[in-house]
């Protein structure tokens, strides 16, 4: 096989079977001896099996060669450009998903008012299965969610012994927020980056949300909300309970543990397939259920 000739589709690992994203900063990605090699600024050298990685998160100070980008594209592995420690998600390299099934399914559901409301209700039910929402509007769901989340913050504060005065932060002045609010912001931002990587890898449209509708990534916020109560929120409270002055390092470490414990990368493709009623969670094999089957 020629160097990085496109592998057969059946040999590529689906998103649910891949490793967690790898975050890299201050170094160089290049191709050497038919593999992608990472050369860190500290002298660390290692080879990265890009075909089995769910995404490469590229932080500050990284140089990447054309050949490395090509290798990732042909392995259907997205490259995401992020801020330090993945605190921000700036952009991603479009990968060849081989079909446009997911964007079409997503856009069709978003454009249909009934389908949009159905998916929003399913998202709420996935988080709060004890609440009946079939007759609720999206506006009502947002209000109900706000009440539930505020209660969750209070419960987490009591559980971990962290003083909770409410969600209050100013993006323009980070230092005005207390420790737990900064930890929540750091934890949520990292979760957003992870969700963005998975969403874009699978071919969904980050800009078309069902509960959220503002900003440039409303669908990312929708998806992240499905897992915050399992990952980013408890990670922030646990980190602050251990180190009230945590600068985000401990928070992100615990968040990664929570994501692995809850198998979020394995669950997310399946949950998205369930929301959109597709027969497969793998974008390379996704087939839309005929409209007659879901009416």
Residues 244 and 270 in one domain: yes
- Residue % of the chain over a pLDDT of 70: 82
Residues 136 and 177 in one domain: yes
Residues 126 and 218 in one domain: yes
Q: Give the CATH number of the domain where residue 34 resides.
A: 3.100.10.20
Q: Which of 48, 67, 92 is the last residue of a domain?
A: 92
Per DSSP bridges, beta strands 45-48 and 89-92 are unpaired
Domain membership of residue 1 (yes or no) is no
Residues 125 and 174 in one domain: yes
pLDDT at 198 over 90: no
Q: Which residues contact 183 (CB under 8 A, 6 or more apart)?
A: 235, 236, 237, 239, 240, 246, 248, 251
Residues 243 and 207 in one domain: yes
Residues 138 and 260 in one domain: yes
Domain residue limits at 62: 9-92
Q: Which residues contact 224 (CB under 8 A, 6 or more apart)?
A: 188, 191, 192, 195, 232
- Per-residue pLDDT reduced to its tens digit, 117-150: 999 999 999 988 888 888 888 888 888 888 889 9
- Per-residue pLDDT reduced to its tens digit, 269-292: 899 999 998 865 444 444 444 443
The structure's pTM equals 0.74
State the total domains in the chain. Answer: 2
Residues 38 and 66 in one domain: yes
Residues 290 and 192 in one domain: yes
Q: Which of 92, 122, 150 is the last residue of a domain?
A: 92
Residues 152 and 236 in one domain: yes
Domain membership of residue 172 (yes or no) is yes
Q: Which residues contact 245 (CB under 8 A, 6 or more apart)?
A: 179
Residues 220 and 249 in one domain: yes
pLDDT band at 12 (very low <50, low <70, confident <90, very high): low
Q: What is the pLDDT of residue 5?
A: 46
Domain membership of residue 2 (yes or no) is no
Q: Give the CATH number of the domain where residue 179 resides.
A: 1.20.120.920
Alpha carbon distance 97, 279 (integer Å): 17
């Amino acid at each position: 096989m020629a160097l990085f000739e496109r592998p057969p589709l059946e040999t590529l690992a689906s998103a649910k079977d891949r490793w967690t994203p790898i975050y890299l900063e201050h170094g160089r990605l290049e191709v050497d001896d038919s593999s992608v090699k990472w050369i860190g600024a500290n002298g660390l050298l290692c080879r990265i099996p890009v075909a089995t990685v769910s995404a490469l998160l590229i932080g500050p100070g990284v140089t990447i060669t054309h050949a490395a980008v090509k290798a990732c594209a042909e392995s259907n592995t997205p490259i995401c450009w992020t801020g330090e420690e993945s605190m921000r998600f700036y952009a991603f390299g479009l990968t060849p998903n081989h079909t446009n099934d997911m964007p079409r399914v997503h856009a069709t559901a978003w454009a249909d008012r009934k389908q949009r409301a159905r998916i929003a209700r399913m998202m709420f039910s996935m988080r709060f299965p004890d609440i009946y929402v079939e007759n609720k509007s999206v506006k009502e769901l947002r209000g109900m969610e706000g009440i539930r989340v505020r209660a969750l913050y209070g419960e987490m504060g009591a559980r971990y012994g962290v003083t909770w005065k409410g969600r209050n932060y100013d993006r323009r002045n980070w230092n005005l927020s207390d420790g737990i609010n900064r930890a929540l912001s750091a934890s949520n931002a990292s979760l957003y980056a992870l969700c963005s990587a998975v969403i874009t890898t699978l071919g969904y449209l980050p800009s078309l949300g069902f509960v959220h509708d503002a900003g440039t990534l409303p669908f990312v916020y929708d998806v992240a909300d499905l897992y915050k109560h399992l990952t980013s929120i408890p990670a922030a409270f646990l980190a602050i309970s251990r180190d009230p002055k945590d600068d985000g390092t401990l928070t992100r470490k615990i968040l990664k543990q929570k994501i692995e414990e809850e198998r979020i990368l394995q669950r997310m493709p399946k949950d998205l397939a369930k929301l959109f009623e597709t027969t497969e969670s793998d974008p390379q094999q996704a087939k839309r259920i005929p409209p007659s089957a879901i009416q």
